[in-house]
Amino acid sequence: MAAQGLSPLSGYEQLWGSKKAFVGEVFGPTLYAAGGQTINASQLGWGGFDFAMVCGLSASGTFYGYVQPLPVDATPSLPQQTTGSFKLMWRVLATGAEAGAVDLSNEVMKFFAIGV
């Protein structure tokens, strides 16, 4: 698998008006570090993300994930600004704990994003 890569599903990227939509897979890093895996909009050739999420469990069913936009703002204002990157937080399904320093290169999750 392509370590730390983003791989589109057939038929994506799509344009939604002036926005772009991406549905694909995100691959885990060879060595996951606490605090999350950074995903950059530039990996898709984009200027920023309006929205991003991962869906369901990893390929093995051992992990689930969620995204944390960067930079983290304790007092966000509306409307939320486009962000250039986010952290993908990998969690162990059985315990809910963040994955430790483990090799996630054989893990993959579905990924959905809207951006510019």
Predicted structure pTM score:
0.80
pLDDT of residue 76: 54
Max Cα–Cα distance, the chain, nearest Å: 41
Cis ω before 8 (30° cut-off from 0): no
Domain coverage including residue 52: 6-71+81-115
CATH for 32: 2.60.40
pLDDT tens per residue across span 52-102: 999 889 999 999 999 988 765 555 555 566 788 999 999 999 999 999 899
Please check whether residue 1 lies inside any domain of the structure. Answer: no
Please check whether residue 27 lies inside any domain of the structure. Answer: yes
pLDDT of residue 2: 42
Q: Which residues lie closer than 8 Å to 92 by C-beta, 6 or more apart?
A: 62, 63, 98, 99
- Number of domains comprising the chain: 1
Please check whether residue 76 lies inside any domain of the structure. Answer: no
Please check whether residue 45 lies inside any domain of the structure. Answer: yes
